[in-house]
């Protein structure tokens, strides 16, 4: 796939897309494809949040040239491992490359779509539609706009008055530079429109990134508070829980699929130990009546989810709250059982993804937090001296 330049005074730099067989090679020396992604580090996310706020201020307050803003946006994308936008913003600052035949390589052409630089035009003779893109850098567009303004001033008609001594002669004012000024006006309008589009492209990306990072920061802060509270309190009930959770977090940082499953197994062990403290196993099942039917609930050593649910129901006065916690426990128990079965069978179909491992860890912390709160409320007061 290649691109050839199109001639035209009003669309200088526009290129249509034509077909040619051509093996595409990734421009990235580290060999990553566009579908691969690497999670940014917490330090990079923190720096990206600050940088996005600065870029928004640069655009809104016009503190620096737009071409410099594009380079800062490229750095923002690099911090987030967003290779497409990193390269696109770089081309916004430097211009999209073409060879001597005004041909754009495949990868820059693909990025013109991401940058919103394309449009479709029909041939007046054949009616065939072709896709075009403009390739000028932001600095070139700014220069075009400034040059058009200066040329427009130079093309003004002189202030002269033409008369004739012959009363029967009709004197016409010369046309002057009207057509030249019209062409300059059109060029200035086109350059201004394209600059506005470049500014909007950078602003939309930066704004969306800023709010996404800001929201994720709030969620991370909430989870950190929950985690710190659980880690500080659970050590009294389950001394080994903090060590297990440390191992869980190390497994989550891994790129190994089986380590994510091990993180889930770690959560299972913590819940099993917690159940042993708040509701020890019993040989006799609990009989409950649901919609007129008697149901037996096993409370043996392996039924730790059932035992935690019984502890919650026995000690929480609000039936609605107990039902919500019970629903979370059932979901978590079913998923942990599925992970355990997958590990025992050696089947990767039941081994979880990192995202699901994250959810299991989050649910585990939330449930333990609820159980610890209930345990603290139901703890008998020490006898007064």
* Distance between CA atoms of residues 313 and 324, nearest Å: 11
Residue located via tokens 């403009």: 134
Mean per-residue pLDDT, 307-327: 78
pLDDT tier, 10 (very low <50, low <70, confident <90, very high otherwise): very low
Q: For 39-53, 280-294, 363-377, which range has the lowest pLDDT when averaged over its residues? A: 363-377
pLDDT tier, 6 (very low <50, low <70, confident <90, very high otherwise): very low
In this structure, the number of other CB atoms found within 10 A of the CB of residue 286 comes to 16
pLDDT digits (tens, 9 = 90+) for 107-149: 999 999 999 999 888 887 888 888 889 999 999 998 888 776 6
Tokens at 108, concatenated: 């820059």
If you ran DSSP here, which 8-state letter would residue 279 be given?
S
Taking only Cα atoms into account, the Rg of the chain, rounded to an integer number of angstroms, comes to 34
Q: What's the gap between Cα 105 and its chain centre? A: 27
Domain ranges in the chain? Answer: 2-156+180-211, 238-378
Q: Does the predicted model carry a pTM greater than 0.85?
A: no
pLDDT digits (tens, 9 = 90+) for 29-49: 323 333 345 778 878 888 999
* Distance between CA atoms of residues 180 and 155, nearest Å: 7
The residues that bridge with 287 in the sheet, in sequence order, are: 296
Of 140, 131, 151, 152, the closest CA to residue 198 belongs to: 140
pLDDT tier, 161 (very low <50, low <70, confident <90, very high otherwise): low
* Distance between CA atoms of residues 240 and 245, nearest Å: 9
Mean per-residue pLDDT, 156-174: 63
Mean per-residue pLDDT, 160-184: 62
Mean per-residue pLDDT, 226-237: 75
Tokens at 10, concatenated: 């009003």
The residues that bridge with 288 in the sheet, in sequence order, are: 295
Tokens at 101, concatenated: 């035949």
Quick check: 363 and 335 in contact, CB under 8 A?
A: no
pLDDT of amino acid 213: 87
């Amino acid at each position: 796939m290649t691109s050839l330049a199109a001639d035209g005074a009003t669309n200088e730099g526009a290129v249509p897309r034509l077909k040619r067989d051509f093996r595409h090679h990734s421009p990235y020396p580290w060999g990553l494809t566009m579908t691969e992604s690497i999670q940014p580090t917490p330090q990079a996310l923190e720096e990206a949040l600050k940088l996005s706020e600065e870029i928004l201020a640069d655009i809104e307050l016009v503190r620096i040239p737009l071409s410099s803003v594009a380079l800062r946006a490229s750095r923002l994308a690099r911090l987030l491992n967003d290779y497409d936008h990193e390269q696109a913003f770089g081309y916004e600052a430097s211009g999209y490359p073409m060879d001597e035949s005004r041909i754009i390589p495949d990868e820059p052409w693909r990025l013109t779509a991401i940058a919103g630089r394309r449009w479709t035009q029909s041939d007046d003779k054949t009616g065939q539609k072709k896709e075009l893109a403009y390739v000028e850098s932001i600095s070139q567009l700014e220069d075009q706009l400034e040059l058009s303004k200066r040329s427009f001033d130079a093309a003004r008609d002189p202030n002269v008055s033409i008369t004739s001594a012959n009363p029967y002669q009709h004197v016409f004012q010369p046309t002057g530079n009207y057509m030249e000024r019209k062409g300059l006006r059109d060029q200035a309008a086109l350059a201004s429109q394209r600059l506005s589009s470049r500014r909007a492209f950078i602003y939309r990306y930066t704004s969306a990134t800023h709010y996404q990072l800001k929201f994720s920061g709030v969620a991370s802060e909430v989870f950190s508070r929950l985690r710190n509270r659980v880690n500080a309190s659970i050590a009294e009930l389950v001394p080994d829980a903090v060590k297990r959770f440390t191992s869980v977090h190390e497994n989550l940082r891994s790129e190994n699929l089986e380590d994510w499953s091990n993180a889930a197994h770690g959560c299972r062990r913590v819940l099993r130990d917690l159940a042993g403290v708040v509701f020890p196993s019993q040989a006799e099942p609990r009989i409950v009546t649901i919609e007129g039917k008697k149901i037996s609930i096993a409370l043996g050593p392996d039924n730790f989810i059932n035992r935690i649910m019984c502890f919650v129901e026995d000690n929480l006065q609000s039936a609605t709250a107990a039902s919500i916690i019970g629903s979370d426990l059932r979901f978590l128990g079913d998923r942990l059982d599925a992970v355990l079965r997958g590990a025992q069978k050696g089947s990767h179909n039941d081994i979880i993804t990192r995202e699901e491992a994250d959810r299991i860890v989050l649910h585990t912390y939330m449930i333990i937090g609820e159980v610890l709160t209930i345990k603290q409320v139901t703890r008998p007061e020490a006898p007064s001296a």
